[in-house]
Amino acid sequence: MRINKLALTNFRSYNSLELELQPGVITFIGDNGSGKTNIAESLIYLAFLSSHRVSNNVPLISLGNQQAIIRAEVQREDRSLQIDLEINASKANRARINGNPTRSQREILGAIQIVYFSPEDLDLVRGEPGTRRDFLDRLLITRTPRLAGVIADYEKTRC
């Protein structure tokens, strides 16, 4: 799997951003606060449908807007997919695959597979067992996206 293009609209500090990503390792260099982490966060959100930095959608959307859009062109084996995710402040998020609406945003899980490490991940070793369980749940969903619904149902019954 490879990401060829990434476009952000009203996502965090970007009103509009379009990147064409070349094969190989990509490094983002810039001053503090220039938006490097926002790019990584957009890919994390697209892959996991959640942010590693915030618990709700509102901080992801540029001030004064009601929605943000993340669009990625992904090369998977012999085919190319365009994944669009509309993040909404006050209603359900919506997703599209190759321009076609999905019934649930969860249908895009697995389209982009990433691994990320952040300082908070040290909690996997030092923190509570719940942190490790959440990590394993995310790993399962990445490998088998249909388990997202099973895990969500389980979480409802636990609470």
Tokens encoding 6: 């990434």
pLDDT at 63: 93
pLDDT at 159: 65
pLDDT at 110: 86
Q: Can you state the angle between helices 129-143 and 147-158, rounded to 10 degrees?
A: 150
pLDDT at 114: 86
On average, the pLDDT of the chain sits at 91
Report whether pLDDT(150) > 90: no
Asked if residue 110 and residue 123 are part of one domain, the reply reads: no
Asked if residue 55 and residue 133 are part of one domain, the reply reads: no
Task: Give residue 70's domain range.
Answer: 2-116
In tens, the pLDDT along 53-104 reads 888 889 999 999 999 999 999 998 889 999 999 999 999 999 999 999 999 9
Asked if residue 8 and residue 58 are part of one domain, the reply reads: yes
Taking a C-beta distance cutoff of 8 angstroms, is the pair 11, 62 a contact? yes
Q: How many domains does the chain have?
A: 2
In tens, the pLDDT along 13-37 reads 999 999 999 999 999 999 999 999 9
Query: In 22-92, which ranges are continuous DSSP H helix?
Result: 36-48
pLDDT at 96: 97
Asked if residue 147 and residue 76 are part of one domain, the reply reads: no
Asked if residue 107 and residue 129 are part of one domain, the reply reads: no
Asked if residue 105 and residue 33 are part of one domain, the reply reads: yes
pTM: 0.80
Taking a C-beta distance cutoff of 8 angstroms, is the pair 3, 73 a contact? yes
Q: What is the CATH number of the domain that holds 6?
A: 3.40.50.300
Which is more confidently placed, 115 or 37?
37
Query: Which neighbouring-strand residues pair with 115?
Result: none
Taking a C-beta distance cutoff of 8 angstroms, is the pair 93, 86 a contact? yes
Asked if residue 70 and residue 28 are part of one domain, the reply reads: yes
pLDDT at 11: 97
Asked if residue 126 and residue 93 are part of one domain, the reply reads: no
Q: Which amino acid is at 80?
A: S
In tens, the pLDDT along 119-138 reads 878 888 898 998 888 888 88
Asked if residue 43 and residue 95 are part of one domain, the reply reads: yes
Taking a C-beta distance cutoff of 8 angstroms, is the pair 8, 42 a contact? yes
Asked if residue 99 and residue 69 are part of one domain, the reply reads: yes
